[in-house]
Structure 1
Amino acid sequence: MQDAVVIIPTYNEIENIESIIMTVFNQDKAFHILVVDDNSPDGTASKVKELQKQFPQSLFLEMRQEKSGLGTAYIHGFKWCLKRDYKYIFEMDADFSHNPKDLIRLYNACHNLGAAVSIGSRYVKGINVVNWPLSRIILSYGASIYVKIITGMLIKDSTAGFICYHRSVLESINFDDIKFIGYAFQIEMKFKAYLKKFKIVEVPVIFTDRTKGQSKLSSSIILEAIFGVVSMKFKSIFNKEKE
C-alpha cells in the first residue's frame, strides 16, 4: 500500500487541476492524490474523473454538495484517508502556490527525521513569497507573529496550508471539535498538535501566488482567524484541551 496521500481541495480549479495532478504524479516519490471537490460549476470534478481512467489506482475523488469551507473539505479528506492505510497525509493547494517538488522534502522531514508534522514554511528563513502585494505579505506575516504571541507556539508560519501529517496526529484529534473552517483552520490544527506535544518542524519553501483562477481568501476568513485565535487559546487554558 502506498504510504503517502496528498489531499487537494478544489472549487473552480479547472485551469489548474490537470497540471497539478500530473506534476504530483511526476515526482521521484510516488504519491496518491485525493481531490475533494465542492461541486465546482466549472467542471473540475469532471476533469478529475477523466484523469482517473489514466490513474485508477492512485487518483481519487470525493465530491461534496456545496462549497462549505476549506477546513471542512480537509476534514472530509482526513476521514477518508484514515480509513485507509496511509501513514503520511498531506495538505496542498491546487493552484501551484505550493511547489509539488517540495512534497518529498516535507515527507523526508517526517519519514526520515521523525517529525509528526512538517510545515512548508514561507517565513522560517526570511520571507519567501512571490507575486504577493505588500499588503498581503504584511497581513500574512503579521498574522503569524500575532498567533505566536497569543498561543505560545514557536512556529513562524502558523497559517501555512502546505503540510504533512503523520497519521497519528490526525488520529489524536477529534474533528468534531474543530471550530474553524477558513484561514483559522490551519492555525487550529497546528495548535492541537502543539498541545499534544507532537514534534513539529518547519521546512523552508518558496510560496508563489496563483497565476490562474481566483483566490478564495476573503475578509470574513481573515476576521475568523484574528478573533478565533484568542478564543482558541482561552479554551485551551480553561478546558485543558481534553478530548
Structure 2
Amino acid sequence: MTEPLPFVSWARPGRPAGFTDSVRPESPGFLVYPPACAPRPSPPPSDRALVVIPTYNEAENIAVVLTEVLAQPGDFSVLIVDDASPDGTAAIVRDMQTRFPGRVYLIERSGKLGLGSAYVSGFRFALEHDFAYVCEMDADHSHDPADLPRLLAPVRAGEADLTIGSRYVDGVRVMNWPIGRLVLSYGASIYTRTITGLPVFDATAGFKCFHRRVLAAIDLDRVKSNGYSFQIEMNYRAWRAGFRLQEVPIVFTERTEGQSKMSKAIVREAAWKVWELRLRSLLGRL
C-alpha cells in the first residue's frame, strides 16, 4: 500500500476568527430542478458537503462523473449548473435525480453565461441551503472524484479554510497534455505568484473545497472573472481575507470525451486579471 500524499499548507496571519426542494431563481431564465423524491436522511446541516459542477455539452461525461462522486465517502450532494447545453446534458441529470433522490440538484440557465458565474450561482445555492463545505470540480473527468475526500478532510478537520487540488505542489502531475498546454498552465501560476504574491503553486486549479465561511466572507457580487482568472480571483480574495489555503497533490488527466473549453480569450483575461487584483488590493478596493 502506498503512503498517502502529503499536504502542503500556506497561511496568512490574522485570519477571521433543513433541505428545501426549491431555491429562488437569481434572475429570469434561471430554473432550478429539485430531486423528484424526498431527501434521504443526511448529516446535520452544519456538516454537509456540496460538489458544484458547471456543465456545457457534457452529455458524454456527466452520468459517469455523477455516479462516481456520489459513491465517495463523506455523503456528498451534487449541484449541476448547466448553461443550456444543446446536447441534452440537463436531461441526463434529471434522470440521475430519480436514481439518487435527495442528492442531485440542477440549475438550468438561459444560455452560455460562463464558468465563473456558474460557480457563483452554485456558491449562492450552497450558502442558502446551509451546506458547510462546498467543492468545485470539472465535469469532464479530468478531476478524479476519488480525491474529493482528501480535499474535504483538512477543511472538515479545521486545518484549512480552502483546499486546492494541486497539479504542481509535488512535482508535475499532469497526464496527456501537450507540452505547450503544460507550459502555459505552469507558467500562469508562476506569473500569478510573481505579480500578486499569492503563495500557491497551482493558482488556476479548478478542483477545490471551501469552508462556507470563506464564501460568506467574499462579496460574490464583485467576482466577475471566468475561466482561469476566476480560480485566481477566488484564491486571491480568500488569501487576502486571511483564510488558510492548503494545496493537496492530485493527478490531473486530460479529458478523453467531449471538447475542451479553453480559448485565447480565457488566457488574455487571466493575464490582465492578476494585475487588476494586485492594483485593487494596493488601493484597498478589492
Q: TM-score range by the shorter chain?
A: over 0.9
Cα displacement (A) at 1:239: 2.1
- Give 1:56 deviation, angstroms: 2.0
1:5-154 superposed matches below 5 A: 5-154=50-199
1:186 maps to 2:231: yes
The DSSP-based 3-state class of the residue aligned with 2:53 is: strand
Q: Secondary structure at the match of 2:283?
A: helix
Alignment match, 1:237: 282
Q: TM-score, normalised by structure 2?
A: 0.83
Alpha-carbon distance in 1 for matches of 2:157, 2:275: 35
Q: Secondary structure at the match of 2:99?
A: coil
Partner residue of 2:200? 155
- Name the TM-score, length of structure 1 as normaliser: 0.97
Deviations 1:45-87 (A, max 9, x none): 0000011111120000000000111000000010011001210
- Residues 117 and 224 in structure 2, CA contact (< 8 A), matched pair in contact too: no
User: For residues 209 and 187 of structure 2, what CA distance do their matches in structure 1 show?
Assistant: 24
The alignment partner of 2:210 has SS state of strand
Compare 138-147 and 174-183 and name the one that shifted more: 174-183
Alignment partner, residue 213 of structure 1: 258
CA distance in 2, matches of 1:221, 1:128: 23
Distance in structure 1 (CA, Å) of the matches to 2:72 and 2:236: 30
Q: Report Cα offsets for 1:12-61 as digits up to 9, x if no partner.
A: 00000000000011112210000000000000000000111111200000
Distance in 2 between the 1:109 and 1:16 partners?
A: 28
Larger deviation, residues 190-199 vs 1-10: 1-10
Q: CA RMSD in A?
A: 0.9
Residue identity (%): 48
What is the aligned length? 241
Matching residue's letter, 1:112: A
Q: Any gaps of 5 or more consecutive residues in structure 1?
A: none
Find the aligned partners of 2:260 and 2:101 in 1 and give their Cα distance.
30
Aligned partners of 1:118, 1:80: CA distance in 2, in Å? 20
The AA in structure 2 aligned to 1:36 is V
3-state DSSP of counterpart to 1:24: helix
